[in-house]
Chain A
Amino acid sequence: MSVQSAVTQDRSPALQPARKGGVRINDVVKTYGAEDTGVLAVDHCTFEVQPGEITVVVGPSGCGKTTLLNAIAGFHSITSGSIYLDDEMLCGPGKLKAQPGPDRIVVFQNGALFPWKTNIENVTFGPMMQGAMTRAEAYDRARAMMADAGLRGIERNYPGETSSGVRRRVEIVRALMNNPKILLLDEPYRALDSLTKSVMHEALLEIFYKNRVSVFFITHDLEEAIFLGHRVVIMTTRPCRPKKILDIDIPHPRDYSVLTTKRFREFMEETVAAVHEEAIKAFAAGEKER
């Protein structure tokens, strides 16, 4: 993809055929420790991330959502089941740990920009490591993408010199520079205050409309989930398994006015009880462990 086409893509999502990055999670089980005595984190979990869509996974803290994300990214192994990216098996029988790769990039909960590199060095890290672009190409593309994401003027700053909201955006741009098929976001906005969060949500959607990659988004914030997601997967508390899967038919592109619509409220009402129920179970389980 040339610099030009990356920047001047049509902004209308309808004209962008979703083409890549579907993930199928198929009967995945993950046990930490020994098979019989260990802790069951993920229990026969099956669902799909549709290509070119945002799938949001909601569940209580510590339910095992991140375990799934780590399995897709290739950071941890699974115990059984299989995970496919499009038609390629990432992990499954005979290969329980996926190989990490630039087609699946994680944006971490507390951010993982390299603090010893400037923002633009961070953003160009992927393509240069992969040898996918020359230094000049990578810098040109990075400048264009950063400008496009409203990050002009901070290229030469270090991540520590910018606000946490900006850092998160830089990290998303760094991820996109790898041309991933799917972005894996692990509660990326957890540490942000609610005002910054609302700005970040719209910024994420804008980036999504421009790049149209699949997004696997983990959160425990229901409002965030319904606002962003094409599909919301509500997880049970540990061991985690889909409890309820909703297709959010609020049309994209969305902006913050969606939050006050009747349809949004209906989705909230439909799901809040389910999430609350699991939160109570998680809380009670936590009490017992102590």
Chain B
Amino acid sequence: MVAAAKALSTKFAGFVGGDDFWRGIVAIAAFLIFWEAGSRSHAWFGFSFPWVSQVPAPTAVLQAMFKLVQEPSFWNSAFLSTLRVFEGFFAAMVIGIPLGLAMAVSRIFFGITFPVFEVLRPIPPLAWVPASIIFWPTQELSIAFVTFLGAFFTIVINVIGGARAIDVRYFQAARSMGSSTWDIFRRIILPGTLPSIVVGATVGVGITWAVVVAAEMISGMSAARTLRSSPE
């Protein structure tokens, strides 16, 4: 663990100041200049760039942002969004990991649950918003539920895949050395699945963030609304 962190930090130290680093800096700077010039093109060059001229310039965005962060309602909204993300994500982990493990180890359980799971999985989380509003008594719960769904399916599918991919030789070796079924679950399946659990959680939490903003917009409990209603 420590070795990995060290390797990462030396890698990062190598990156800063290196060729790739400067290419990145130049690329971002060029992008910002293009954006600034584009959005001010009417004033600067007398004609409007298509599309780019219709968005505010980065300097204007920065000014607005500076104003925004001074308002308490911004931080309140950010806090609420974070809370919703972690509620949903936490629930997805707590329910999704055991469910995925159970589906991976029990053929019968898998046979019963997987078809239903696969019917529900392709439904985009945002399509659940109307149903979610009907299901749950408060909007807060509705939004948390949608964020939950965003992470849930990804986590479950990763856990199943990870547990199934464990090399059969590990089971055979453990069985030969006298492991009980519980030992095999705890000492082989669980650690063997851990990398996939982490991958599922990483992807899942990303989806959760994407979903929470959209869910807030649609349900009207949004960061956007609190901000709109805040005094200018």
A residues engaging B (CB < 8 A)?
Answer: 73-75, 100-102, 104-106, 108, 110, 112, 114, 116-117, 125-126, 129-130, 178
Contact A106 B173, beta carbon cutoff 8 Å: yes
Tell me if B213 is interfacial: C-beta within 8 Å of chain A: no
CA A126 – CA B173 in complex, angstroms? 9
Task: Note all chain A residues with C-beta closer than 8 A to B180.
Answer: 129
Q: Which single residue of chain B is at the shortest CB-CB distance from A109?
A: B169
Contact A106 B172, beta carbon cutoff 8 Å: yes
Contact A129 B174, beta carbon cutoff 8 Å: yes
Task: Note all chain B residues with C-beta closer than 8 A to A112.
Answer: 167, 169-170, 172-173
The list of the 5 closest CB pairs from A to B, nearest first, reads A126-B177, A112-B169, A130-B178, A116-B191, A129-B178
Contact A101 B178, beta carbon cutoff 8 Å: yes
Query: Given known contacts A112-B170, A116-B192, is B176 in contact with A105 (CB within 8 Å)?
Result: yes
Contact A129 B177, beta carbon cutoff 8 Å: yes
Contact residues of A: prevailing secondary structure? loop
B59 nearest CB across to chain A (Å): 50
0/1 per residue, B159-180, Cβ < 8 Å to A?
0000000010110111111111
Contact B178 A108, beta carbon cutoff 8 Å: no
CA A108 – CA B177 in complex, angstroms? 14
Contact A102 B172, beta carbon cutoff 8 Å: no
Partner of B177 from the list A74, A110, A130 (CB cut-off 8 Å) is: A130
Tell me if B188 is interfacial: C-beta within 8 Å of chain A: yes
CA A117 – CA B173 in complex, angstroms? 14
Tell me if B194 is interfacial: C-beta within 8 Å of chain A: yes
B residues engaging A (CB < 8 A)?
Answer: 167, 169-170, 172-180, 183, 187-188, 191-192, 194
CA A108 – CA B169 in complex, angstroms? 8
Which of B180, B187, B191, B194 has most A Cβ within 10 Å? B187
Q: Which single residue of chain B is at the shortest CB-CB distance from A132?
A: B178
Q: Which single residue of chain A is at the shortest CB-CB distance from B184?
A: A129
CA A273 – CA B191 in complex, angstroms? 48
Contact B179 A114, beta carbon cutoff 8 Å: no
CA A131 – CA B21 in complex, angstroms? 56
A116 nearest CB across to chain B (Å): 4
Q: Which single residue of chain B is at the shortest CB-CB distance from A116?
A: B191
Contact A125 B172, beta carbon cutoff 8 Å: no
A174 nearest CB across to chain B (Å): 8
Contact A125 B177, beta carbon cutoff 8 Å: yes
A24 nearest CB across to chain B (Å): 20
CA A102 – CA B177 in complex, angstroms? 5
Q: Which single residue of chain A is at the shortest CB-CB distance from B190?
A: A116
A73 nearest CB across to chain B (Å): 6
Contact A73 B172, beta carbon cutoff 8 Å: yes
Query: Given known contacts A116-B192, A116-B194, A129-B183, is B170 in contact with A102 (CB within 8 Å)?
Result: no
Task: Note all chain A residues with C-beta closer than 8 A to B172.
Answer: 73, 75, 100, 106, 108, 112
Which of B173, B174, B175, B183 has most A Cβ within 10 Å? B173
CA A153 – CA B8 in complex, angstroms? 26
A-B contact pairs, 23 of them (CB 8 A): A73-B176, A100-B172, A100-B175, A102-B177, A105-B177, A106-B176, A108-B169, A108-B172, A110-B169, A112-B169, A112-B170, A112-B172, A114-B170, A114-B173, A114-B174, A114-B188, A116-B191, A125-B174, A126-B178, A129-B174, A129-B183, A130-B177, A130-B178
Contact A102 B191, beta carbon cutoff 8 Å: no
B189 nearest CB across to chain A (Å): 11
B13 nearest CB across to chain A (Å): 23
A145 nearest CB across to chain B (Å): 15
Task: Note all chain B residues with C-beta closer than 8 A to A73.
Answer: 172, 176
A250 nearest CB across to chain B (Å): 32
Which of B174, B176, B187, B194 has most A Cβ within 10 Å? B176
